[in-house]
Structure 1
């Protein structure tokens, strides 16, 4: 009886915060409705309920949230796959994102800026002074072929780095458990980050051209780089769904995620599946980094490290081990990150995103998609 009373008390102690969270959520939705309707109600200490916000402004925040969320989700797929099949949290994933960003943009600038600057300057992503991004013209309007080549190079280069790291570091340690691999991944992350810094430099710089990138569609101003990111991310996510559900490799990956020992006994080539996991995860990480810079317009050696915490939050929120959870979690984190700017400054919107993750996990610890499953 004592244990039963303790459990009931625990449930009761969680019900009040949940009720408060629902009330706050309802108030925020009503506040947005009042802002869109132009209704403003004075409160205490100069505060108001509602205000003035156009539909276009709110739509812009939602669109930005979707774009950011797609980056988190696309990068989170590889992180989630690694956890579900190899059973460790890969802290070097953020620096694989950086690797894809720099290698992809080195190729894109080389193609679009050929003859405008030295090949070394372009390959090193404008590490030294030289032509401006607008002079080079690396944009989806001025150099679509260069942008497409950059996507491919980002994926291939990151895959090569990822597989090499697995062969040298992770494969010899695979039987030592998740903690040893996690610690090793931190060392790999630091090493990879400073290799990138040594090769490409530590200077933050612009890479994409802005001339002609914005256009008007149905009366709405659209950034074509964001639209490109949206289309490419959806295509890759759809491709991952088909691979997992319609191919033998996808079936083998799902079997290994469920029970690695049973998969080995039934004749599934587990080592090949592990290699495929690294290839797919590395490719998606590299493309995510490349697309993030395409949308952002600037690049620096630690962009992946800054994104990693958000990606972990997305994966955990969605249900670590589930690629669909990674996508859904990424969209939730991205939307909260951007829409929260209605009420708070940009210095605190990251805290709002993580607060949502904490609230959800308090009442659904397994995440939105319920735990370790590749699909």
Structure 2
């Protein structure tokens, strides 16, 4: 009986939404194509096209690893964006520029510690705005200057929190009762202001910041950058920490209650203003650390990196189910993996489009996201 109902439900879904069937078939074909490539099987098709081909397990492993690393950045940054939406009920378009703030302040501190005595203090604090010693000469890496990297992470979190709380006090708090649309528009203005303050202080030149000597190794045939491994470990620790905070602490309980019903939380005595401040502190810290780690993995920095990442972060949050931190993490990993694994079939000029296409296709089938109905936690 259960099988019959399932089959009937499947037939209704196919009749009503044939795009879902097409999407599933396309997914199966792509998976089979990867298996054929790994097996070295190639079948000629029309117009010079072929099914399968040749790809080593190490090549595929590199793509998957890169996808996980990129996805962790999207997911970690998306946690703060998702919390802001679920508790304050507006989409914060300045979130990407908070990543930029954390990246520049954190790397200013890291370069100052790693390069002390090698260049002028101002040049190091401004993240090599005027050139100076190369990143390899400064030695800013987890191998040559691990203490500098740790201090950089801490400074990125603290500086971004200070900026985030100041913006809330000056801009968002006075507008909090006016609804989500005015706050959204205000956040766009804040984003522009932050971006060009960063450009004015640190300059608009793209520059290298991390040393590359001795940071790459091979694990099971897959090339692993130790900076990527650092990102992987730190991101996982922070994600687990957020889970424990939300599920095991009074603050987490208050945040989940406020996300469910703000008015009821206020009536029951929950200090909502403190919860809002905590939301900004946690979201700002995670954004700052995400920006720092992204530059650690990427190796270069520029004033608009957060703006370029913002659409991917929004895509991850929407795909996972806006309002859920677990959804943000899962959505980030999906977007990251599609972004990198799609390079098997398309060039790097189009892999961003492939990531957004997957988001659209999933939402056609599940409009509420992967973690629908789960808010904050």
The offset of 1:220, in angstroms, is 4.2
- CA 1:8 to 1:89, structure 2 compared with 1: closer, same or farther past 3 Å? farther
**Distance in 2 between the 1:358 and 1:216 partners?**
36
**Distance in 1 between the 2:176 and 2:37 partners?**
54
**Distance in 2 between the 1:313 and 1:330 partners?**
8
**Distance in 2 between the 1:361 and 1:313 partners?**
11
TM-score, length-scaled by structure 1: 0.96
The answer for the alignment partner of 1:289 in structure 2 is 291
Task: Kindly indicate whether the alpha-carbon contact (under 8 Å) linking 1:97 and 1:285 is maintained by their aligned counterparts in 2.
Answer: yes
Aligned residue pairs: how many?
A: 373
- CA 1:6 to 1:198, structure 2 compared with 1: closer, same or farther past 3 Å? farther
**Distance in 2 between the 1:186 and 1:3 partners?**
51
The offset of 1:363, in angstroms, is 1.3
RMSD: 3.5
Task: Kindly indicate whether the alpha-carbon contact (under 8 Å) linking 1:93 and 1:189 is maintained by their aligned counterparts in 2.
Answer: yes
**Distance in 2 between the 1:15 and 1:66 partners?**
34
Where 1:366 maps in the other structure, the secondary structure is coil
- CA 1:74 to 1:5, structure 2 compared with 1: closer, same or farther past 3 Å? closer
Q: Deviations over 1:18-45 (max 9, x none)?
A: 3110110000000000000000000000
Unpaired stretches in structure 1, ≥5 consecutive residues: none
The answer for the alignment partner of 1:103 in structure 2 is 105
- CA 1:257 to 1:294, structure 2 compared with 1: closer, same or farther past 3 Å? same
- CA 1:217 to 1:40, structure 2 compared with 1: closer, same or farther past 3 Å? closer
The offset of 1:10, in angstroms, is 15
**Distance in 2 between the 1:114 and 1:306 partners?**
32
Task: Kindly indicate whether the alpha-carbon contact (under 8 Å) linking 2:62 and 2:223 is maintained by their aligned counterparts in 1.
Answer: no
The offset of 1:222, in angstroms, is 1.8
Q: Deviations over 1:190-217 (max 9, x none)?
A: 0000000000000000000000111234
Q: Deviations over 1:321-365 (max 9, x none)?
A: 000000000000000000000000000000100001001111111
Q: Deviations over 1:117-146 (max 9, x none)?
A: 000000000000200000000000000000
**Distance in 2 between the 1:23 and 1:363 partners?**
14
Where 1:167 maps in the other structure, the secondary structure is helix
Q: Deviations over 1:269-326 (max 9, x none)?
A: 0000000000000000000000000000000000000000000000000000000000
Q: 1:299 aligns with which of 287, 291, 301?
A: 301
The structure 1 segments of at least 4 consecutive aligned residues displaced by more than 3 Å after TM superposition are 1-11, 14-18, 216-221
Where 2:17 maps in the other structure, the secondary structure is helix
The answer for the alignment partner of 1:313 in structure 2 is 315
- CA 1:218 to 1:361, structure 2 compared with 1: closer, same or farther past 3 Å? closer
Task: Kindly indicate whether the alpha-carbon contact (under 8 Å) linking 2:98 and 2:284 is maintained by their aligned counterparts in 1.
Answer: yes
Task: Kindly indicate whether the alpha-carbon contact (under 8 Å) linking 2:59 and 2:222 is maintained by their aligned counterparts in 1.
Answer: no
The offset of 1:9, in angstroms, is 14
Task: Kindly indicate whether the alpha-carbon contact (under 8 Å) linking 1:84 and 1:372 is maintained by their aligned counterparts in 2.
Answer: no
The offset of 1:17, in angstroms, is 3.8
Q: Deviations over 1:244-293 (max 9, x none)?
A: 00000000000000000000000000000000000000000000000000
**Distance in 2 between the 1:276 and 1:303 partners?**
26
Task: Kindly indicate whether the alpha-carbon contact (under 8 Å) linking 2:92 and 2:184 is maintained by their aligned counterparts in 1.
Answer: yes
- CA 1:163 to 1:206, structure 2 compared with 1: closer, same or farther past 3 Å? same
Task: Kindly indicate whether the alpha-carbon contact (under 8 Å) linking 2:78 and 2:314 is maintained by their aligned counterparts in 1.
Answer: yes
**Distance in 2 between the 1:3 and 1:59 partners?**
37
Task: Kindly indicate whether the alpha-carbon contact (under 8 Å) linking 1:38 and 1:53 is maintained by their aligned counterparts in 2.
Answer: yes
Task: Kindly indicate whether the alpha-carbon contact (under 8 Å) linking 2:62 and 2:222 is maintained by their aligned counterparts in 1.
Answer: no
**Distance in 2 between the 1:16 and 1:178 partners?**
33
Task: Kindly indicate whether the alpha-carbon contact (under 8 Å) linking 2:157 and 2:285 is maintained by their aligned counterparts in 1.
Answer: yes
Where 1:367 maps in the other structure, the secondary structure is coil
Q: Deviations over 1:38-61 (max 9, x none)?
A: 000000000000000000000000
- CA 1:54 to 1:9, structure 2 compared with 1: closer, same or farther past 3 Å? closer
Q: 2:281 aligns with which of 273, 279, 282?
A: 279
Unpaired stretches in structure 2, ≥5 consecutive residues: none
Task: Kindly indicate whether the alpha-carbon contact (under 8 Å) linking 1:138 and 1:209 is maintained by their aligned counterparts in 2.
Answer: yes
- CA 1:8 to 1:344, structure 2 compared with 1: closer, same or farther past 3 Å? same
TM-score, length-scaled by structure 2: 0.95
The answer for the alignment partner of 2:185 in structure 1 is 183
Task: Kindly indicate whether the alpha-carbon contact (under 8 Å) linking 2:78 and 2:316 is maintained by their aligned counterparts in 1.
Answer: yes
